[in-house]
Amino acid sequence: MSPEKLLRPEILALSAYRVPEAQGMVKLDAMENPYALPSALRRELAEALSRVDLNRYPEPTGRRVRELIARRMNLPSGMELLLGNGSDELIHMITLALARPGTTMMYPAPSFVMYGVNAALCGMNAVAVPLREDFSFDAEAFIARMKSSPPGLVFIAYPNNPTGALYAEEDVLRVILAAKGLVVLDEAYHAFAGKSFMQRLPEHPNLVVLRTLSKLGLAGIRLGYLAGRPQWIEQFNKVRQAYNVNALTQAAALFVLERLEVLEEQAARIRAERAALGAALERLPGVTVFPSHANFFLVRVREAERTDQALRRQGVLVKNLHPGLRNCLRITVGTPEENRILLTALHEAL
Ligand SMILES: *Cc1c(COP(=O)(O)O)cnc(C)c1O
C-alpha cells in the first residue's frame, strides 16, 4: 500500500515544516523575543498554572482571554475576536472557510510561507504578486492583478515577513478599497511597527486584522487572534476545532496579558537594539540591509549558503532564504550580547 496512490497530489507536493536543531545555539532564526519573563513573575505564573483544572476541557472560545485582549489591544467597539492555536491556525480557518471551488488567494511575494501552504491545503488557487526588486510594494501592479484574477481572499503581512518592510498605509488602503474579497491584514509584528489597521476595522466591511502573541514573547503558548466584524467571526468560528486553545495557554495568556507592560517594555528594548544592529550590519562590507519595521533584518550577502554554514559553525542560527530569495539571510534581533556574538561571527563568515 503506497500513500502516493491515495494522497491528494497537492499534499504530496508539499514538504513538512522543518525546524533545525537549536540546542546550544544563539537562536536568531525564528523572530522570538529573546527575553524571558522576570523570575518573580515566572514563579507567580507557575502558581497560576498549578490552579488550572487539567481534568476539565477548557472554556471553548477563551471568553476571558478574548475580553482581556479586547481591552488591552483596544479592540474597536462592535468588533469581535476569534482565538487560534497560533495565528497559523487562524490562517488555516480563514482559508478553509473561503475555499469555494475555483477561489483565488492573492498576496504580495515574497511573504509568509503559510499563505501559500494553506491555499494548497484547501484547494485555493494561489497568486503570488511579486514585490519590486527592492521588496517595496507595487500597489498598482497588485490592484491590476486583482482586476484580472479577482481574489476571494487577500493576505498582506504588515510589516512583511521575510523582508521587514512596512508598506505605505495609503497603498494598503487602496488594496482594501479595491478588493472584492476579504483582506486579512497580518499584523504579527505590530509591537515593533507602531502602525496598525485595528482602529480602521469599523470602516471596512472586507477587512479583518490578524495578530499573534508569538513575536511579542509568548511563542511557546501558541495563541493568535483575529479581529473583525461579528459577521466574519461568526462564520470562521464554525471552522474552529472545539477546544482549539488549551487550558494552560488560556491561563498563561490571562496571566501575562494582565501584565502586558512587561512584554511592551521588552519590545521597546528590541526596537532600540534593532536600530543598533541595523547600523552595525550596514557597516559590514558586502552586506545589504533592507529597512525593517519588525524584530528582524533581511540582509543580502555575497554567498548566503557559505555565510550561513560559517555562522552555524560558530554557533549562530539564522534563516537562510536562499535560493527562494537570492543570497538572503533573515536575522532576528537578539539581546545585546547575542547581537554582539552574531556580528563577530559574521565578520568571519562573510
Ligand atoms: C510568525 C508569523 C505568523 C505565525 O505566528 P504564530 O501565531 O506563531 O502561528 C503569522 N504571520 C506572520 C507574517 C508571521 O511572521
pLDDT band per the 50, 70, 90 thresholds, residue 316: very high
Q: Is the pLDDT of residue 137 over 90?
A: yes
Q: Is the pLDDT of residue 70 over 90?
A: yes
- Residue ranges of domains in the chain, CATH in brackets: 3-30+261-349 (3.90.1150.10), 53-258 (3.40.640.10)
Decide: 156 and 179 in contact? Cβ < 8 Å.
Answer: no
Q: Is the pLDDT of residue 167 over 90?
A: yes
Please give the grid coordinates belonging to residue 45.
Answer: 505564573
Within 6 Å (CB) of ligand 1, which residues are found?
A: 31, 86-88, 112, 157, 161, 186, 188, 212, 214, 219, 224
- Which whole-number Å values give the CA distances from 2 to 5, 6, 24, 195, 293, in the listed order? 6, 7, 39, 50, 47
Q: What percent of the chain has pLDDT over 90?
A: 96
247-304 pLDDT per residue, tens: 999 999 999 999 999 999 999 999 999 999 999 999 999 999 999 999 999 999 999 9
Residue 323's pLDDT is 87
Which amino acid, 251? A
Please give the grid coordinates belonging to residue 102.
Answer: 475555483
Centre of ligand 1 to C-alpha 285, Å, is 32
Centre of ligand 1 to C-alpha 286, Å, is 30
Atom of ligand 1 nearest to the CA of 215: 1
Across 26-48, average pLDDT: 98
Residue 25's pLDDT is 96
Please give the grid coordinates belonging to residue 344.
Answer: 563577530
Centre of ligand 1 to C-alpha 186, Å, is 8
Q: Which of 285, 318, 319 is nearest to 302 (CA)?
A: 285
Across 124-153, average pLDDT: 97
Atom of ligand 1 nearest to the CA of 214: 8
Q: pTM of whole model > 0.75?
A: yes
Which amino acid, 34? P
Across 60-64, average pLDDT: 97
Across 106-128, average pLDDT: 97
pLDDT band per the 50, 70, 90 thresholds, residue 27: very high
pLDDT band per the 50, 70, 90 thresholds, residue 87: very high
Ligand 1 mutation pick, 32, 87, 321, max ligand atoms within 8 A of CB: 87
Centre of ligand 1 to C-alpha 178, Å, is 26
Any idea which residue has 476539565 for its cell? 56
Residue 281's pLDDT is 98
Centre of ligand 1 to C-alpha 43, Å, is 28
Write the DSSP symbol of residue 266: H
Atom of ligand 1 nearest to the CA of 90: 9
Nearest CA to ligand 1 atom 12: 188
Q: Is the pLDDT of residue 171 over 90?
A: yes
Nearest CA to ligand 1 atom 11: 188
Across 44-71, average pLDDT: 98
pLDDT band per the 50, 70, 90 thresholds, residue 324: confident
Mean pLDDT of the chain: 97
Centre of ligand 1 to C-alpha 212, Å, is 7
185-231 pLDDT per residue, tens: 999 999 999 999 999 999 999 999 999 999 999 999 999 999 999 99
Residue 12's pLDDT is 93
Centre of ligand 1 to C-alpha 165, Å, is 15
Residue 350's pLDDT is 86
| Other residues' Cβ atoms within 10 Å of the Cβ of residue 18 | 5
Across 21-32, average pLDDT: 96
What span, in angstroms and rounded, lies between the C-alpha atoms of 207 and 201?
Answer: 6
What span, in angstroms and rounded, lies between the C-alpha atoms of 105 and 126?
Answer: 5
Q: Are strands 153-157 and 316-317 parallel, antiparallel or unpaired?
A: unpaired
Residue 169's pLDDT is 98
Across 18-38, average pLDDT: 95
